[in-house]
């Protein structure tokens, strides 16, 4: 089945770290216009936790990189902290699907536990289900689900459409869908989270969580392409 490169976990997480740090101010501005303004700080806090882990305890496998990322987010307040934390925990679990056979030390061989692209797609879907279970948001409520849902659908459709489609091509399709959907949240009114308190004032403003989730998909694509 279609693979992801051995360095996928590291490249994905380090690319996302750069993307989050670069976008934190803009994401904070969006949350200020249609929310309570703390999302930029929440992103920065998560990345500070991640940096601390990377400095003290360098990950050596897909699962360890994703675990550092999910632990970093679980240490953050706001709605996004636990939701991204549980989402990335589901992505980390995909690293258990391979390379953890009997007697096999997880991560003993670099890249040994990297999921296939199909397993990664399943993990994204599991993460979406977790976010929706706890956050109770539906597609269209102007949340991170609005960009994640079409990304998962596009990824699966690309993988199912043609056995020759590569992992990177499929992730490009997912990225396109996520970016377009995040942009389209500007046309919707928030029904979840702090942004729902401002009602129609959220009209015209892109949902920062949806934009952040598009960065996740885009970083996965970059990580697979590296």
Subset of 103-162 contacting ligand ADP (CB under 6 A): 131, 135-137, 143-145
Residues that bind ligand ADP (rule: CB under 6 A) add up to a total of 24
> What is the closest distance, in whole angstroms, from the C-beta atom of residue 192 to ligand ADP in the complex?
4
Q: Which is nearer to Mg ion, 77 or 204 (CB)?
A: 77
Query: Is residue 78 near Mg ion by the rule CB under 5 A?
Result: yes
Count Cβ atoms below 10 Å from residue 102 Cβ, excluding itself. 4
Q: What's the CA angle centered on 53, arms 209 and 62, to 5 degrees?
A: 75
Q: Which residue has the tokens 């003290």?
A: 56
Query: Is residue 209 near ligand ADP by the rule CB under 6 A?
Result: yes
Taking residues 70 to 99 in sequence order and writing x for each that binds ligand ADP by CB under 6 A, - otherwise, the string is: --------xxx--x----------------
Query: Is residue 49 near ligand ADP by the rule CB under 6 A?
Result: no
Q: Which residue has the tokens 């980390």?
A: 92
Q: Please, which residues have CB within 8 angstroms of residue 73's CB and are 6 or more apart in sequence? A: 46, 49, 80, 81, 82, 84, 85, 88
Distance in angstroms (rounded) separating the CA atoms of residues 155 and 189: 27
Subset of 192-211 contacting Mg ion (CB under 5 A): 194
Q: Which is nearer to ligand ADP, 9 or 78 (CB)?
A: 78
Q: Which is nearer to Mg ion, 36 or 100 (CB)?
A: 36
Full 3-state SS string of 58-118: CCCCHHHHHHHHHHHHHCCCCCHHHHHHHHHHHHHHHHHCCCCCCCCCCCCCCCCCCCCHH
Q: Which residues bind ligand ADP (CB under 6 A)?
A: 31, 35-36, 38-39, 42, 78-80, 83, 131, 135-137, 143-145, 192-194, 207-210
């Amino acid at each position: 089945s279609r693979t992801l490169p051995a360095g996928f976990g590291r490249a994905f997480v380090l690319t996302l770290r750069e993307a989050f740090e670069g976008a934190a101010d803009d994401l904070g501005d969006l949350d200020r216009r249609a929310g309570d303004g703390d999302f930029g700080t929440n992103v920065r806090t998560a990345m500070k936790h991640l940096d601390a882990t990377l400095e003290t305890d360098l990950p050596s496998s897909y699962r360890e990189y994703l675990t550092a990322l999910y632990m970093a987010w679980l240490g953050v307040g706001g709605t996004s902290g636990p939701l991204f934390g549980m989402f990335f925990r589901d992505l980390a679990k995909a690293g258990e699907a391979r390379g953890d056979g009997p007697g096999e030390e997880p991560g003993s061989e670099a890249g040994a536990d990297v999921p296939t692209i199909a397993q990664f797609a399943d993990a994204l879907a599991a993460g979406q289900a977790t976010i929706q279970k706890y956050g109770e948001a539906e597609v269209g409520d102007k949340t991170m689900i609005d960009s994640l849902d079409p990304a998962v659908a596009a990824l699966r459709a690309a993988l199912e459409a043609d056995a020759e489609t590569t992992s990177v091509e499929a992730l490009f399709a997912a990225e396109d869908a996520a970016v377009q959907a995040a942009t389209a949240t500007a046309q919707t009114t928030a029904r979840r989270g702090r942004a729902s308190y401002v009602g129609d004032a959220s009209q015209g403003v892109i949902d920062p969580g949806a934009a952040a989730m598009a960065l996740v998909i885009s970083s996965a694509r970059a990580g697979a392409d590296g």
